[in-house]
Chains A and B, each alone.
Chain A
Amino acid sequence: MAVEERNLIAPGAGLTAAPPVVGRFSDFVYQLRGNPATFAGLFIVVVIVLSALLGPVLARYDPYAVDLGQSAVGPSLAHPFGTDQYGEDILTRVVVAARLDLFMVLSAVGASMLIGVALGAVAGFFGRFFDEGIMRSQDVLQAFPRFVFAMAVAWALGPGIVTVIVATAAINIPGYARLMRSLMLSVKETQFALAAVAVGNSRWRLLWRHLLPNCLTPIIVLSTLQCGFTILEAAGLSFIGLGVRVPQAEWGVMIAMGLQDFLQGHWWIYTFPGLAIAFAVLGFNLLGDGLQDILDPKRRRV
């Protein structure tokens, strides 16, 4: 076969260029756009936070203004959510309650996160005695059904905001401790951890600067979801009368007040606060699930 005159193209030409590096924020927005549920969750949480911050300022009525002449009035233009037995405007109270509930929940979740993560990190990192001791204590805490334990703690401490925070935080601690411990155990054995030790990092530096940041993601996801559950538990405690008491503007309390008037058919007294709870918890759940999808590399949008 004769060799023809060729117009050779140099090898390597025509290769496609490397894809551009995508910024982290724009990537986050891209993920959000593909996941409308997560976006909805984020939106809801923002609404709740805004209500909490701005609600009392923008409210038309005083949430504690008793007006017996307007007792148990159904939804109307003047009172879109109606009034309760004391004549207090429910819409105002629902919005104001956001502040109290959010405060309690964030405090409880924050406290349990700090304590639980610390316990789990110590158990996982130092092992042996610490691990055994800490995990046994968590076993005992987890032996009780969650809400029952919260009830017992709340009852022992007497009603009040602090009680709700302490009771709901107490039942959350084991969850964080276990998660942190297993994260710590797996991250301790990774290549980069061994490398950090080989390079000469002290134990504390290793723990603080190298290992903990890598455990951050699941903790964030857990915290978001825990916010939702804690709202339910805090409201539940207040509903029973073990938490925040009547006539505070708190969603659970308002539902309890609605229960009192149930047989008179004043459905609006408990319906709207309940909707607020469901709405808030829904937001946190959607956001938490979505964060899990976004932050777990295996489940991302490609």
Chain B
Amino acid sequence: MALLEVSDLRTSFFLRSGELRVLDGVSLEIEAGEVLGLVGETGSGKSVTAYSITRLLKQPGRVVGGEVKWDGRDLVRLWESELEQEIRGKEISMIFQSPREALNPVITVGRQLTQVLRIRRGMDRREARAEAIRILKSVYISDPESRLDSYPHELSGGMAQRIMIALALSCEPRLLIADEPTTGLDVTTQHQIVLLLRELRDRTGMAILLITHDLALAAQLCDRVAVLYAGRIAEMGPIGHLFRSPRHPYTAALLASRPRLGLQGDILTIPGNVANLMRPPGGCRFHPRCPNATQVCAQQQPPLEPMDPGQRVACHNPMPQRQELAASG
């Protein structure tokens, strides 16, 4: 059984001007120890998916349907207190974008860390301090003893992100949800964080849900990738297959639009704008921008179906499989 099984998750934001259906039936699963990437454009609903799983959506968002099964329990239907005491931190942890804003500016980093250790792992002051130092060392923070007394605004972006990772890992969760963890960091630091996450996964065996718009980042870290468009999964599969033989036209277009060395001519773009989530297009949400669109695409939403070579695709007219893969089977 998969560690996390999301089925037909629906989340909406209730604005005064209407209901914004941000997630409209998202289904995915993560196995223990695997790294699943969730990629998509801005506004596709990636972060909202993460917050919906742990029910940390900001007002006026709300989960309106679907299931999130963790160890057989449906997180959507749990009491808030159960979620707080049993799931968050202990089983599922999160790290966020803009780490400096995600840390409390008036409390030292050390206090924030030891507070979690004392409250959630029942340690006393001495134990917590020692453990905090150990955790900081494990995320490669230099001079951890004095780092404990720093405030978030005194940290660099990369260091703050490491502290966030330290916090998230302090209760030894089985799943880490990383929401755009490298956005805003410089390239070198991004690379370091990626390496760190990889090492942590190898060492602790925890699973990671990596949310990003950066395909290259996904390529470095993920085992499988799910592509999200306008609140629905377009395609999902092992990363190698997806990159070499994308079946969904959107995935293909995303891959084709990456700038490459030696590229001649204009960068390929996807025509049109991201779907309006207040009044989404009928049928397949991508059909207004899709080169393969036919009549049925405007009428019927395609279901997510398994397709060679080992991917799942939601499309009426998927791209043909690439020849070399077909040959190798």
CA distance A301 to B15 in the complex (A): 8
Nearest CB on A from B191, distance (A):
33
Residues of chain A within 8 A (CB-CB) of B321 are 1
Q: Which of A6-25 touch B at CB < 8 Å? A: 6-9, 11-16
CA distance A13 to B288 in the complex (A): 5
User: Given A1-B320, A14-B298, A302-B17, are A9 and B272 neighbors across the interface (CB < 8 Å)?
Assistant: no
CA distance A9 to B17 in the complex (A): 31
Q: Which of B263-285 touch A at CB < 8 Å? A: 271-273, 276, 279, 281
B72 proximal to A (CB < 8 A): no
Do B295 and A15 have beta carbons less than 8 Å apart? no
A158 proximal to B (CB < 8 A): no
Cβ contacts A212-248/B at 8 Å (1 or 0 each):
0000000000000000000000000000000000000
Which among B273, B288, B294 is the interface contact of A11 at CB below 8 angstroms? B288
Do A15 and B273 have beta carbons less than 8 Å apart? yes
Give the interface SS of chain B, mostly helix, strand, loop or mixed. Answer: loop
User: Given A11-B289, A11-B293, A12-B289, are A302 and B15 neighbors across the interface (CB < 8 Å)?
Assistant: yes
Residues of chain A within 8 A (CB-CB) of B15 are 302
Do B320 and A9 have beta carbons less than 8 Å apart? no
A133 proximal to B (CB < 8 A): no
CA distance A133 to B68 in the complex (A): 63
Do A9 and B298 have beta carbons less than 8 Å apart? yes
Do A301 and B271 have beta carbons less than 8 Å apart? no
Which size bracket describes the interface of A in this complex? 10 to 19
Residues of chain B within 8 A (CB-CB) of A15 are 272-273, 281, 288-289
Do B320 and A16 have beta carbons less than 8 Å apart? no
Do B298 and A7 have beta carbons less than 8 Å apart? no
Do B287 and A14 have beta carbons less than 8 Å apart? yes
Do A8 and B294 have beta carbons less than 8 Å apart? yes
Cβ contacts B286-303/A at 8 Å (1 or 0 each):
011111111101100000
Do A34 and B295 have beta carbons less than 8 Å apart? no
Nearest residue, chain A, Cβ from B13:
A302
Nearest CB on B from A21, distance (A):
15
Which among B271, B279, B320 is the interface contact of A12 at CB below 8 angstroms? B271
B interface size (C-beta, 8 A): 23
CA distance A156 to B290 in the complex (A): 80
Number of residue pairs across A and B with beta carbons under 8 Å?
45
Nearest CB on A from B292, distance (A):
8
User: Given A15-B288, A302-B16, A302-B17, are A9 and B276 neighbors across the interface (CB < 8 Å)?
Assistant: no
Nearest CB on A from B145, distance (A):
40
CA distance A301 to B293 in the complex (A): 37
Which among A1, A9, A16, A302 is the interface contact of B293 at CB below 8 angstroms? A9
Residues of chain B within 8 A (CB-CB) of A14 are 281, 287-288, 298
Do B288 and A12 have beta carbons less than 8 Å apart? yes
Do A12 and B272 have beta carbons less than 8 Å apart? yes
Which among A6, A9, A16, A302 is the interface contact of B287 at CB below 8 angstroms? A9
Nearest CB on A from B217, distance (A):
28
Do A7 and B294 have beta carbons less than 8 Å apart? yes
Nearest residue, chain A, Cβ from B16:
A301
Nearest residue, chain B, Cβ from A11:
B271
Nearest CB on B from A14, distance (A):
4
Nearest CB on B from A205, distance (A):
39
Residues of chain A within 8 A (CB-CB) of B289 are 11-12, 15
Nearest CB on A from B117, distance (A):
36
Nearest residue, chain B, Cβ from A1:
B320
Q: Which of B127-184 touch A at CB < 8 Å? A: none
Nearest residue, chain A, Cβ from B289:
A11
Which of A1, A11, A13, A302 counts the most B-chain CB atoms under 10 A from its CB? Answer: A11
Residues of chain A within 8 A (CB-CB) of B292 are 6, 8
Nearest residue, chain A, Cβ from B326:
A1
Residues of chain B within 8 A (CB-CB) of A1 are 320-321
CA distance A62 to B290 in the complex (A): 80
CA distance A12 to B291 in the complex (A): 9
Nearest residue, chain A, Cβ from B15:
A302
Nearest CB on A from B128, distance (A):
39
Which among A6, A16, A301 is the interface contact of B294 at CB below 8 angstroms? A6
CA distance A6 to B297 in the complex (A): 12
Nearest CB on B from A263, distance (A):
54
Residues of chain B within 8 A (CB-CB) of A8 are 292-294
Which among A11, A13, A16, A301 is the interface contact of B276 at CB below 8 angstroms? A16
Nearest residue, chain A, Cβ from B278:
A16
Nearest CB on B from A147, distance (A):
34
Do B297 and A9 have beta carbons less than 8 Å apart? yes
CA distance A1 to B322 in the complex (A): 11
Which among B16, B279, B297 is the interface contact of A16 at CB below 8 angstroms? B279
Would you give 27 A-B contacts (Cβ < 8 Å), ordered by A?
Answer: A6-B292, A6-B294, A6-B317, A7-B295, A8-B293, A8-B294, A9-B287, A9-B293, A9-B294, A9-B297, A9-B298, A11-B272, A11-B288, A11-B290, A11-B291, A12-B272, A13-B288, A14-B281, A14-B298, A15-B272, A15-B281, A15-B288, A16-B276, A34-B16, A301-B16, A302-B15, A302-B17
8 pairs of A and B residues whose beta carbons are closest in the complex? A14-B288, A9-B293, A302-B15, A15-B288, A16-B276, A11-B271, A301-B16, A14-B281
Residues of chain A having any CB pair with chain B under 8 Å: 1, 6-9, 11-16, 34, 301-302
Given A9-B294, A9-B295, A9-B297, output 11 extra A-B contacts at Cβ < 8 Å.
A7-B295, A9-B298, A11-B288, A11-B289, A12-B289, A13-B288, A14-B281, A14-B287, A14-B298, A15-B289, A16-B281
